[in-house]
Chain A
Amino acid sequence: MVDLSVKLGNLVLSNPILTASGTFGSGEEFAGFIDLNKLGGIVTKAVTREPRIGNPYPRIAETLAGMLNSIGLANPGVEKFITQKLPFLHSLKTKVIVNVAAKTIDDFAHVIRRIESSGGVDGYELNVSCPNVKEGGIAFGTDPRITGKITAAVRKITAKCLIVKLTPNVTSISTIARAAESEGADALSVMNTLVGMAVDIHSRRPKLSTITGGLSGPAVKPVAIARVYEVVNAVQIPVIGIGGIMGLEDVLEFLITGASAIQVGTANFINPAISEELAANLENYCLSHHIKTLQDIIGNLQT
């Protein structure tokens, strides 16, 4: 037997494989492809206080070994999330983390209070790093003071696992990371997408309606690994590695660098079964390498 479990604050995941917000819907979209209960957990598409229709078309553009997106946090709002999505999520045995985005501190608190009073979930990931909205998002996550304030406000209303998702589009990610840690975050997700842009040379127009968007996919992995390295050396709380994970070797690379868990993002679009496959592959890897616990891998970087 291999113990793949990891702890994020008081939340125990049966394995370190999570799905990245915005790439996995509310899980239901993948139920026909995999057994969701084989995952360490699901991180939902961002939920906001009011419904959001998202940005105009085109919202995605493929780039070399990656993709740009500018979805714009399209979601039905917290009330419809509670009636339409939460019952399914409650039926799962896997851990459920709801990604929450907001324009104000009050709205963060409101969304989490509403979900808490509707049966709750296992944890919350605060989205202070979306590059594709005009208010909130990255504007919060690039400011350590605001990141700290949001974390502190939400910490007061829930004892559940509280994760802050950080943007790499800053000069010093460790400053933001420490601000979230000092105000009570249980874990940090590193990283959200990199701001990117692509131009159609024929029409001479940007490939996204919003001109810039967020770059994800294997192209960003080395940046993500460097950010995880920086953050794990700056804080004591667990770090969740995100960025371009396509296979088991990528998972191991993040764990060795110091991530306690990982999130699979863009790869879900290409192979909707990838998250379950990674959980199985990680177990097989540990068995064949006589690794009894992930603690033997996590942070075991030889420098």
Chain B
Amino acid sequence: MTSDIITTQVKTTAQLTTGKIIQKRMVLADVFKLSIEHSRISRISKPGQFVNIKLSDQLTPLLRRPFSITAVNAEAGWFEILFKVIGEGTRRLALLEPGEMINLIGPLGNSFWLSSQTKRALLVAGGLGVAPLAFLLQHLYQLKIKKTLFWGNQTKELFLAYPEIKHSCLELFYTTDDGSMGYHGLVTDLFAEVIPKFEHEAVQIFACGPNPMLQKIQQVATQNGIDCQLSLETLMGCGFGACMGCNVQSASGESYFYTCSDGPVFNAKDIKVDG
């Protein structure tokens, strides 16, 4: 595990490369975690960054698919991605087995950054939006700051199947849409309820999840005057700044940022999140 503290936003040089799948874990019937051997990516990647994976040698799916890095082990030389099978691309990725090679570009994008004043990190995850936040937690565990994770899912299944997120240093709030575990309701509702409790602490918010969730987190952060970073997911054609397909509106609405090259981590006050 890398031990440096991320106090500035990091960008690294991406490589077109290949990595060997060394482990595959079926977390749920449609959620998988792959461990991919790659010493450079495991060594230099920072929380928030992603890899863009070519899923087929055939012409369909044609474009790469981006995946957040969810963990690294620099000593052992591997990193992990966590994903849900949604379409043809992720279906193919889930069919790969240990020993197979994958073609990837990475690490891409910028990273979360931590203010030196921060005494507590508030992380808010919606579903698989937990992926980059888990990597951020991996870094934060080495710091003497408090960590609170709000993690919302539709049902309890993912919580039960993903115990690796639990850590003695982590205050953890679960929410479920169906009330099967933790708070019954949206993670954003619980977050808005709990946030006053931290008003005397120097906190920073880090969030990743569906856009409606990010919009709400952005509002709560603004109302409470809290520094907030959002990790966005958009369609992407290339992942490295060439296609201009991953545009995100600036806060003023007068220009665009690009998720792959200006993000995926944005300061919440800089952008307008699409509903």
Residues of A within 8 A of B (CB): 22-25, 29-30, 32-33, 45, 53-54, 56-62, 64-67, 69, 71, 74, 217-219, 246, 266, 268-273
Contacts and interface: CB of A to CB of B under 8 A. Distances in A.
Interface of B: 13-16, 54, 59-64, 105, 234-235, 237-238, 240-249, 254-256, 274
Contacts of B243: 22-23, 60, 69, 71, 269
Nearest to B256: A53
B245 A66 contact: no
A54 B14 CA distance: 26
A64 B15 CA distance: 27
B244 to A, nearest CB: 5
B71 to A, nearest CB: 25
Contacts of A67: 62-63, 237
A268 B242 contact: yes
A62 B61 contact: yes
B41 to A, nearest CB: 15
A84 to B, nearest CB: 13
17 contacts: A22-B243, A22-B244, A29-B241, A30-B242, A58-B234, A58-B235, A58-B245, A62-B63, A64-B60, A69-B237, A218-B59, A246-B59, A269-B63, A269-B64, A270-B54, A271-B16, A272-B16
Q: Is the interface of B mostly helix, strand, loop or mixed?
A: loop
A62 B105 CA distance: 19
Main secondary structure of the interface of A (DSSP, over half): loop
B60 A272 contact: no
A-B pairs, top 10 by smallest CB distance, nearest first, are A60-B245, A269-B238, A65-B59, A29-B242, A29-B241, A25-B242, A269-B237, A71-B244, A60-B237, A59-B245
B62 A218 contact: yes
B242 A266 contact: no
A32 B62 CA distance: 22
Contacts of B54: 270-271
Contact of B62 (A24, A33, A65): A65
A194 to B, nearest CB: 16
A141 to B, nearest CB: 21
A62 B62 CA distance: 7
B247 A54 contact: yes
Contacts of A56: 247, 249
Most buried by A among B240, B241, B247, B274: B247
Contacts of A218: 59, 62
A25 B61 contact: no
Given A22-B243, A269-B63, 15 more contacts: A23-B243, A30-B242, A53-B254, A54-B247, A57-B249, A58-B234, A59-B245, A62-B61, A62-B63, A64-B60, A67-B62, A69-B243, A217-B59, A266-B62, A271-B16
Contacts of A30: 242
A9 to B, nearest CB: 27
Contacts of A74: 244, 247, 256
A106 B247 CA distance: 30
A54 B244 contact: yes
Contacts of B13: 32
Nearest to A218: B59
A270 B63 contact: yes
Nearest to B89: A62
